[in-house]
Amino acid sequence: MDFVSEEALRTGADLHFVHVPQLAPGLSGPFDVDWEAARAFGHHVLARASADAHELVGGRITITHELVAESRGTVTDIVARSEGARLVALQHRRLTGIGRAVGTSTTQGVASRSHAPVVSVPASWQPENRHHTVVVAVHDPAGADHTLRTAFTLAGQRQDRLRVLHACLPCDGHGDEGVRRDAVREDRFRNALAAQVQALRAEFSDVRVEIEVRHEPIGSALLRGAEHGDLLVLGRRHPRLPLAAHLGPVSRLALETSTIPVMFVETVAPVPVPGQRVETTTSPGQTRR
C-alpha cells in the first residue's frame, strides 16, 4: 500500500484496486453460498484497501476499485486491465506449499504478459528502510536502452542515485592471470555501456550514477547488489523474445528472493498510451497485490 500510494502521488497517476474472487480450497458447502461469501470478502478487501489508500494520499489523487464479476482466470483478468495502466503492482508473500505455487505463478504470469511495467512488492518490505538508491541490472548493453532510460527516469523522480549492476562469473585461471582476465571483461563492459550512460547523464543531470561489476553468479550478485537499494529494475525478457514469453530464471529468482520491490520493464520502448493509471490488485491469496 505504501509503495503504490507513493508511486501514484509521485507520478500523478490515479490508483485503481482490482480484486478477483476465488473460492477457498476445501469448501464443501453449496457453490452459490460459497461464491457469495467469496464476493463479500472481496468487497471487504477492496473497501479496506481504498480506505487505507485514502489515508495515505489525502484526496490528492482519484482512487477507484473493481470486483471482477466474471473471471477468466486471475492472470488473464489482471493482464486485461493492465492495458492503459502506468504500472501494475502486486504484493509478493513468502508462501509455502500450494499457496506458494499459486501465488508465484500468478505473479510470474502477470509480469510476463502485462501491457504495463509490473512491480512485485515483498510483504515484508518497509518504506522506512530507505537507501535512496535505484538498482538496474544490465546483462548486455546492446539491448538495454529502454531499461536504462526507465531506471534513470525512476531515479530522477525519486531523487535517488542510480546503480547500474552487471554480473559475470570469474574467468578461469589462477592468481594474477584470472584477475587480469576479469579486469579486461569489466573494462569491456564499462566501455560498451559508456555511450548510453553518458547520453542519459546529459538528459538526467540530477541523477548520480555508479556502475558496479560483480564477478560472481548473477543470482547472488543481484541479491547482494540490491541489499542497499530501494528498487530493483529488470528487463523482463530479451528484446528478441516474443511478447508474453516466460520470465527467465534470473527474473524468477529475483522475484522469489528479493527483499526490495522488483520492477519488470520492457527492454524496448512501448507505444505510449494517454490517460494511464497505477493499477494494483487484491485477492484472497495475496492481499493488495
Q: Which domain holds residue 114?
A: 2-123+277-282
Q: Are residues 12 and 93 in the same domain?
A: yes
- Provide the CATH number for the domain around residue 23: 3.40.50.620
266 in a domain, yes or no?
A: no
Question: What is the residue-averaged pLDDT of the chain?
Answer: 82
Its pTM stands at: 0.83
For residue 279, the surrounding DSSP H or E stretch is strand 277-282
Whether 273 shows a pLDDT value over 80: the answer reads no
Give the count of domains, the chain: 2
Grid cell at residue 99: 499457496
Q: pLDDT tens across 120-152, in order? A: 998 888 888 889 999 999 888 888 889 999 999
More confident: 169 or 234: 234
Q: Are residues 176 and 71 in the same domain?
A: no
* pLDDT grade for 86, boundaries at 50, 70 and 90: very high
Q: Cα(118)–Cα(85) distance, rounded to whole angstroms?
A: 10
237 in a domain, yes or no?
A: no
28 in a domain, yes or no?
A: yes
Q: Are residues 206 and 142 in the same domain?
A: yes
- Mind giving me the DSSP string for 26-46? T--S-HHHHHHHHHHHHHHHH
Q: Are residues 154 and 201 in the same domain?
A: yes
